[in-house]
A and B are shown apart, each in its own frame.
Chain A
Amino acid sequence: MLSILTYPDERLKTECVAVSDFDAELREFITELESTMHTSPGAIGIAAPQVGCLQRIVIVDLSETPKFENHARLVLINPEIIDWQGMEKGREGCLSVPDYTPVM
């Protein structure tokens, strides 16, 4: 299990680089990242910089929250927001900011 960086660790604000090597090491890291996410109760996502890896990798797993229409488990590598619509308020927490779940 990887250790999670918490605020105010500067690495959490560092711009991440794109993944260029899609190799066995990347797969192994993603497996570890996902295991780390699942060790925290209620966690539905994690990003690589949260464990100190400054690359553009995000895991989102909503497969346990079927109440919301969602894409279940996603491993996003080098994602880009190219379009978005709408806003919704909800209660959110962050593994890197423990014990704080505001309505955002």
Chain B
Amino acid sequence: MTQHKEHWYMLTLVGEDRPGIVAHVTAALFEGDCNLGEASMMRLGGNFTVMLMVKFAGTRKALRDLLESVVDSLGLHMHIDNIEGHLHAHLQPDVRITVYAADRIGIVAKVTGALAETGLHILDLESAVAGETDKPIYVMHIEGYASEGIEALAAALALVKEEAGIEAHLTPIETMIG
């Protein structure tokens, strides 16, 4: 294999959840001399999902070849992107928004639409459908950066709450550094 300059790739894996996915995939990456960066991995609706920054001195195809057998054996779908990302690119969130509502279509679009218009840069979003099967509750936690100030977001959220009949709370995030 021709040696390339080390490069960051974003590896995306999705498949039916089972124990050992992370161990098997990362063992293959380690054997291929890959360095791992930031990652988000979680179980969503019975699937296991991986978004993983991988630093690798080879082409995208070479990385795919390195992982193909382990990914196939685990029944995962794989996607690899070349990325221009790098480490130490964190943005600190200054606001947290929590939304609860009886589940129905459009909650995320309404809430995030109003917040985007008033300057919210979403840095992290997690959501779950809780409650009983016939009475599901949609729960969403957002952390972000209020580029136009928190008051603007609060006003937009108050409107959405009233119009859409949802519960939503906005709390400033104070980061204590010591």
Q: List A residues at the B interface (Cβ < 8 Å).
A: 40, 42-47, 60, 65, 67-68, 90-95, 99-101
Q: Whole-angstrom distance between the alpha carbons of A101 and B93 in the complex?
A: 10
- Cβ of B61 < 8 Å from any Cβ of A? no
Q: Whole-angstrom distance between the alpha carbons of A2 and B174 in the complex?
A: 26
**Do residues B178 and A45 form an inter-chain contact, with CB atoms below 8 A?**
yes
Q: Whole-angstrom distance between the alpha carbons of A92 and B174 in the complex?
A: 8
**Do residues A92 and B177 form an inter-chain contact, with CB atoms below 8 A?**
yes
Q: Is the interface of B mostly helix, strand, loop or mixed?
A: loop
**Do residues B178 and A60 form an inter-chain contact, with CB atoms below 8 A?**
yes
Smallest CB separation, B31 vs chain A (Å): 26
Closest to B174 in A: A65
**Do residues A92 and B176 form an inter-chain contact, with CB atoms below 8 A?**
yes
The one of A40, A93, A99, A100 in contact with B176, judged by C-beta atoms closer than 8 angstroms, is: A93
The one of A47, A67, A68, A100 in contact with B178, judged by C-beta atoms closer than 8 angstroms, is: A47
The one of B88, B176, B178 in contact with A91, judged by C-beta atoms closer than 8 angstroms, is: B176
Q: Whole-angstrom distance between the alpha carbons of A43 and B41 in the complex?
A: 31
Q: Whole-angstrom distance between the alpha carbons of A67 and B88 in the complex?
A: 29
**Do residues B175 and A42 form an inter-chain contact, with CB atoms below 8 A?**
yes
Closest to A98 in B: B88
**Do residues A68 and B174 form an inter-chain contact, with CB atoms below 8 A?**
yes
